[in-house]
Amino acid sequence: MCCGQKRAKAKSALSITHLNWPDKSKPRQAELRVRFLGSGSLIVKGAYSGMSYLFSSEDPDQTVDARDAEVLTRTGLFRLI
């Protein structure tokens, strides 16, 4: 197996969408679905929640805190779905 195939296999095994888990002691906020419109991969830290979200062109749709969704959509790289 060449290096490219190993990277592809490792990448397909990665299915983490939230890298920081929410603090269970805080009340849960409303969530919205957003779609990443870019190419490649991008890790974004929520401006309000502090959560880290992993987006990729292979898995562009994620559920995010509604307050973060508002900020993300203003960048032009995301839209609500």
- Let me know if residue 75 belongs to a domain: yes
Look at the chain and report how many structural domains it folds into.
Answer: 1
SS3 call for 41: strand
The model's pLDDT over 21-76, given as tens digits with 9 standing for 90+, comes to 455 555 557 999 999 999 999 999 998 889 999 999 999 999 999 999 999 999 99
How far lies 48's CA from each of 2, 9, 10, 38, 67, in Å?
42, 34, 31, 22, 6
- Let me know if residue 1 belongs to a domain: no
| Helices and strands (H and E) in the chain: how many | 2, 5
- Let me know if residue 17 belongs to a domain: yes
pLDDT computed for residue 44 by the predictor: 92
- Let me know if residue 47 belongs to a domain: yes
pLDDT band at 4 (very low <50, low <70, confident <90, very high): low
How many Å separate Cα 14 from the centre of its chain? Answer: 13
pLDDT computed for residue 17 by the predictor: 47
- Let me know if residue 3 belongs to a domain: no
Residue 26 belongs to what domain range? 12-80
pLDDT computed for residue 36 by the predictor: 96
- Let me know if residue 28 belongs to a domain: yes
pLDDT computed for residue 12 by the predictor: 47
pLDDT computed for residue 65 by the predictor: 92
